């Protein structure tokens, strides 16, 4: 094999590996891309619930009306409803539910969004977690506890 042919093969291999790494970093199966709106699942559509419709609480978690959330959380809900743009680069990433406090679902089911915390220099501890069926949960203590958000109230 000639040196030039071998070099082309190595360069091609590096390109393939680079594309695979970028794919793994940015295109996670089952997770909504950053800035993407969360589409309702087939299950919620089959129940006749349009996107953004109120959901029954699928968990044993306490409930909070959307109108009772802090102003910043209501602003985050509005951004989620319109699909962004989001102020934090990590908004829309997969939430793994490693703590197991939300209903068990397959990997990639939940996405997380930052709720700004006044006085915090970073993202703070407040988040809204959205399931693929568009159910939403609020945490103000960085995943230690959650409340199911009752929308339309």
Any catalytic annotation for residue 151? no
- C-alpha–C-alpha distance, residues 73 and 97, integer Å: 20
Cβ contact 111:37 at 8 Å: no
Q: Residue 132's closest CA among 103, 153, 152?
A: 103
Q: Residue 116's closest CA among 150, 91, 149?
A: 91
- C-alpha–C-alpha distance, residues 56 and 77, integer Å: 17
Q: At which residue do the structure tokens 């594309």 appear?
A: 19
Any catalytic annotation for residue 142? yes
Characterize 23-59 residue by residue with b for buried, 16 or more Cβ atoms within 10 angstroms of its Cβ, and e for exposed.
eeeeeeeebbebeebbebbeebeeeebeeeeebeeee
Which residues form the catalytic set? 112, 142
């Amino acid at each position: 094999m000639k040196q030039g042919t071998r070099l082309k093969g190595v360069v091609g291999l590096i390109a393939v590996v680079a594309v695979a790494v970028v794919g793994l970093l940015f295109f996670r199966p089952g997770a909504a891309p950053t800035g993407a709106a969360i589409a309702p699942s087939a299950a919620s559509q089959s129940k006749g619930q349009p996107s953004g419709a109120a959901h029954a609480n699928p968990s044993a978690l306490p409930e909070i009306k959307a109108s009772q959330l802090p102003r910043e959380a209501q602003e985050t809900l509005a951004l989620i409803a319109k699909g962004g743009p989001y102020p934090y680069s990590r908004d829309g990433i997969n939430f793994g539910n490693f703590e197991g406090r939300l209903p068990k679902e397959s990997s990639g089911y939940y996405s997380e969004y930052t709720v700004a915390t006044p006085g915090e220099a970073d993202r703070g501890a407040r988040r809204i977690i959205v399931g693929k069926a568009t159910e939403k949960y609020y945490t103000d203590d960085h995943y230690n506890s959650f409340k199911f958000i009752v929308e339309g109230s």
